[in-house]
Structure 1
Amino acid sequence: MSETPESSGKADAEDTGVSMVEILEEEERLEADANAVLGDSDDKNCTYPRGYINRQALYSCSTCKAEGAEPAGVCLACSYECHEGHDLIELYTKRFFRCDCGNSRFPNLKCKLYPDKDAVNPSNKYNHNFSGLYCICSRPYPDPDDEVDDEMIQCVVCEDWHHGRHLGTVVPDNQEYSEVVCSDCMKRHDFLWAYTLTSQATVLKKEERYTEVDVVASDSSDQASYSMSAGTSSLDASASNVSLGNLSGNSDDPDWSSNDPRFEALVKKYPPRSQVATTSDGRQQPSVDTCLLKDLKSRKYEVKEEAIFLPEGWRKKLCQCVECMTMYKDKGILFLTDDHDTVQSYEERGRQNQVPVSQHDKEVSALSQMNRIQQVELLQGFNDMKSQLSDYLKKFAENGKVVREEDIKEFFSNMQARKRQKTEEGFQYNCK
């Protein structure tokens, strides 16, 4: 039986409808995300005495910033204690930042938590995010003039946020990448393009003489031996029964990608050959004789004018020989060799720091801190909301309409408007 326009429209409405369960689940998800962002940051003490923290939640205060003043950032605790009720710009997280609250960038404010601060924090880095602007287009987020539904993605190097459409390439599915380096940062650090050879499919051609192969250590049970000599290398992988040849991009042999089980069995066997060398007395030290980056640069790879999407674990593949480590330091990107620097690692620490509290325990705790009048006001407010919500939803039931997410948002938005109106007009309770 064919579908009538009326039934089709009703089906579409049902498809776009949102249940209360879904709304509550979304609220829990957003709360979990917020806990992950804030969980590893101190919400009681100003972080200034701890110096330039590896990573922390930061805010910029528009209320305290004078017109034309230099940008400034405050820690989580100061946002609560010193800037309560102010217009704050959430900066998510920043690395190597020291709290500015109360220093010379806030001439009319004294920090309540740690007033004894130096006038400036010379090592702090600021960008237009501190003014509420993002991306190469320098637009606010959310942008009231932007009609395109586009996600914002943070560059792991400059830590600016970029619209997906302004990264110069197609954004892959979230499951397909772990971190992003924007196109501008790739121009400044174009050596990173060489490392795409370690994550893309590698074609191997069997020959007697061939270049060294990048392998990483683990406790795999596969038996193999790895020997090196001047100009030649040999790898006997008895478990996988493969022989590695010259790394070449034009071989007719099948691709052997980093996702191939045979490759995984080998890369888990050995320490990065460009990272350590064992001396005669058994000590390990950075090797000065081998450099993975030089090896990769000797092959063919493409340098593009676009952002790069990097898979999980890509930092571990960066060469850590003395020469490369010096280069990272000179470029100010030594943090790329630290897995704990990642936002994912920071958020995981935040989740682990959270003490599970049931919703019921939260409600009991909140009520116990209220006096009698506040409890009565809360009960009256709840009953008022319950009555209004019932009347509001009744209209949908009478007309056979599905309640959508925007309908629920509209209801609570109207409630907030009525609450503000009552507050402005003033009201009181008469006790007899």
Structure 2
Amino acid sequence: MSEEEENGVDKTDEEEEKGITMVDVLNEEEERELDAAAVLGGTDDSSCTYDMGYVKRQPLYACVTCCPPDSGRLAGICLGCSYHCHEDHELVELYTKRHFRCDCGNSKFPNNSCKLLKEKLPENPENEYNQNFKGAYCTCHRPYPDPEDPLDDEMIQCCICEDWYHGRHQGGQVPSGEDYAEMVCQDCLKKHQILAHYFGLAVTVVKSEETKESLNVSVELENLQKENITNNGQMQPEEKEAKSSNDADVKSECKGNNSSKTGCKLEGLIKQNLPEGAIFFPENWRQQLCTCDNCKNKYKDEGFIFLLDEEDTVSSYEERGKTQDPSRKASTQRELEALSSLDRVTRTEMVHEYNTLSSSLRDYLRKFAENKKVVRDEDIKEFFSQLVANKKQRPSPRVQQFCK
């Protein structure tokens, strides 16, 4: 039995209509809600997150109106402040950033106070900023979306510096999005040489820029022994046949050659020569990082101790957002039950009206996106007022069906 039949919806009648069915509408709406919840992570849009201190991860925005790129003032604001304090300003969406405290209304905003919280320190010294706060991304330092870029290239975020990069500017072949969980950009690899020890965990290794030949060499760290690694970092045949570590049990104990001495996973392993480009890691690769005291101190000194925090990952953040509202599925089920009680003509009219609304709203919002304007409550009210006015000027689909 199909999903539509299980929910009491007449699939035969629905299939007769061109375009999408109302079940499709409800399913698409639920998917959009899940995507929005994943990005926002359950963040409250009615309050400022400043009082929460340095939030582990949250959606952030940069206000170009208050802090122009040439002002020398880099600042980030939370979701609530983007709605209530900068509603008519030009904003840059930064997606999510880790360990950040909202800057809205502090000394970086001399002409714009925070409407949600008045008492704030002049600065947040633990905040870290990069070129994204000026609307620039990647090694090409271009905006996104880039109106002058003719290529449709996926942007990928580095899990360490949190900048976004074009795949083609990372010097290698980008694996399928389903095959990797996180990326470390080429600049971070050069900066943090200790990560070269974990090159064998990578999902894809590009052997040469000319051939773009790639090898799947995801293996457990304990297989990366000195005798199996050549001087140029290429894997021996027996390692190429190793089972992928994507679904392997994570080993909690250190198992380097000399682990009995210090408990460090890296002892006895050769730091491999890295190719030019980023490294793409599978799910749970962080759990295979060495956690001995010596390595932890190195992570702290180099500023990426957060890699040992399982809740730091974007995927963990998104999953928390998706499960924030357990009533969502119940709501969709009630909508499907209500739909099943309608007759075929009514359902047809609903599909027609939905398609009209969807098309009109996309065209209306596109203007705001092109001009980099925030959509206000007044704009939405104006849109629906005009939609009602237009509807009154045309006959309904039911009347047209019986006209001769």
TM-score, with normalisation over the residues of structure 1?
A: 0.63
Equivalent-residue separation in structure 2 for 1:386 and 1:197 (angstroms) = 54
1:272 corresponds, among 253, 256, 277, to: 253
CA–CA distance in structure 1, aligned partners of residues 293 and 311 of structure 2: 21
Counterparts of 1:87 and 1:213 in 2: how far apart (Å)? 51
Is the CA contact (8 Å cut-off) linking 2:58 and 2:78 kept in structure 1?
yes
Matched, 1:143 2:150: no
After the TM superposition, which residues 17-416 of structure 1 pair with which residues of structure 2 at under 5 Å, given as runs?
19-20=19-20, 28-66=30-68, 68-198=71-201, 201=217, 213=222, 247=228, 255-259=240-244, 264=248, 271-273=252-254, 289-297=262-270, 301-357=272-328, 358=331, 386=353, 389=356, 409=359, 412-413=362-363
Could you say if the C-alpha distance between residues 289 and 83 of structure 1 is closer, same or farther in structure 2, counting changes exceeding 3 Å?
same
CA contact (8 A) 2:226 2:269 kept: no
* Deviation by residue 1:368-390 (Cα, 9 ceiling, x = unmatched): xxxxxxxxxxxxxx99x959959
Does the aligned pair in 2 maintain the 1:178–1:310 contact within 8 Å? yes
Q: Does the C-alpha gap of structure 1 residues 415 and 57 become closer, same or farther in structure 2, counting only changes over 3 Å?
A: closer
User: How far does the alpha carbon of each residue in 1:109-160 deviate from its partner, in whole angstroms, 9 at most, with x for none?
Assistant: 2212221111011111111211222111111111111111111110101101
Distance 1:294 1:126, change over 3 A: same
Q: Output the CA distance in 2 between the equivalents of 1:245 and 1:304.
A: 19
- 1:5-37 per-residue CA deviation (whole Å, 9 max, x = no partner) reads xxxxxxxxxxxxx94357875554343211111
**2:363 is paired with a residue of what secondary structure?**
helix
1:296 is displaced (CA, Å) by 2.1
Q: CA separation of 1:61/1:247 partners in 2, compared to 1, >3 Å: closer, same or farther?
A: same
1:248 CA drift (Å): 5.3
Secondary structure, aligned partner of 1:295? coil
Deviation of 1:40 after TM superposition, in Å, equals: 3.4
Identity %: 43
Paired AA for residue 297 in structure 1: I
Pairwise CA distance, 1:80:
2.0
CA RMSD of aligned residues (A): 4.1
2: distance between equivalents of 1:51 and 1:247? 47
The code of the aligned residue for 2:20 comes to M
Structure 1, unmatched stretches of 5+, are 1-17, 205-211, 216-243, 276-285, 363-381, 391-407
Q: What code does the residue aligned with 1:159 have?
A: E
| Greater relative contact order structure (CA < 8 Å, 6+ sep) | 2
**TM-superposed deviation, 1:320:** 0.9
Structure 1 pair 90/414, CA: closer, same or farther in 2 (3 Å)?
Answer: closer
The 8 Å contact of residues 200 and 219 in structure 2, kept in 1 or not, is answered as no
CA pair 328-120 structure 1, distance change in 2 beyond 3 A: same
> Hey, what's the Cα distance between the residues in 1 that align with 2:90 and 2:365?
22
Q: 1:288 to 1:99 in 2, by over 3 A?
A: farther
- SS of the residue corresponding to residue 126 of structure 1 reads coil
Shift in CA distance, 326/251, structure 1 to aligned 2, threshold 3 Å? closer
Q: How many angstroms does 1:86 deviate by?
A: 2.6
* Counterpart-to-counterpart distance in 1, 2:219 and 2:104: 55
Q: Which amino acid aligns with 1:113?
A: L
| Aligned residue pairs, count | 320
Change (3 A) 1:321 1:354: same
TM-score, with structure 2 as normaliser: 0.67
> Offset of 1:252 from its aligned partner?
6.6
Distance 1:252 1:160, change over 3 A: closer
Question: Which whole-Å CA distance do the structure 1 matches of 2:123 and 2:361 have between them?
Answer: 46
In 2, Cα distance between equivalents of 1:352 and 1:50: 21
Helix, strand or coil at the partner of 1:185: helix
CA distance in 2, matches of 1:274, 1:387: 59
Equivalent position SS for 1:60:
strand
How has the CA–CA distance of structure 1 residues 196 and 342 changed in structure 2, closer, same or farther, with 3 Å as cutoff? same
AA aligned to 1:291 is C
Cα distance change on mapping 1:253 and 1:96 into 2, 3 Å: closer
SS of aligned partner of 1:174: coil
Please identify, of 95-104 and 47-56, the stretch whose mean Cα deviation from structure 2 is larger.
47-56
Any gaps of 5 or more consecutive residues in structure 2? 1-17, 203-215, 336-348, 368-377, 390-404
Distance 1:307 1:416 in 2: 34
Q: Which structure: greater strand fraction?
A: 1
Q: Residue 356 of structure 1: CA displacement?
A: 3.0
